[in-house]
Amino acid sequence: MASPTAAASGSSSSREGTAKAMVFDQISQTIQSTSNLLHLMQQSSPSQVQLTKLPKNLLAKTTMIKNTGQVLEQMPQVISSLDAHVENGLQSVPHLRTVSQLLANMESCQLSSLSQAHLPEKEPAMGKQPPAKH
């Protein structure tokens, strides 16, 4: 005869086997129910035509999706390069101010020369200076 501990041990593994079988059955039923529900949704859905077109639409857009992915991969490098150009531009601002001031001075001188060229020339009065006051 089997000892009482062996009988208890056999009873315990029998319960575990039964519990595992019940869980397995429940999982199987859930999977079958989900599968049936999906089939019913596909058959009764008013947008079934759109559902069947979906894979075709995605295939038509794969090239664009790949290109978008490549652009997104390059974006960090583009941003870094743009940032470097902006930084260089900001460092050039004082030089640009100097160039701008030089151009303004040149323009002013040219306008002054043009306005003096159009005025009637007066004789220089170098010898006729007023006497100095003491």
Mind giving me the DSSP string for the chain?
---HHHHHHHHHHHHHHHHHHHHHHHHHHHHHHHHHHHHHHHHH-TTHHHHHHHHHHHHHTHHHHHHHHHHHHHHHHHHHHHHHHHHHHHHTHHHHHHHHHHHHHHHHHHHHHHHHHHSPPPPP-SS-PPPPP-
pTM of the model: 0.33
From first to last of the 134 residues of the chain, give the pLDDT tens digit: 445 554 555 666 677 778 777 887 788 788 888 877 777 777 776 666 666 666 677 677 778 878 888 888 898 999 999 999 999 888 888 888 899 999 999 999 988 888 887 766 555 555 555 555 55
Residue type, 41: M
Instruction: Supply the pLDDT for residue 55.
Output: 66
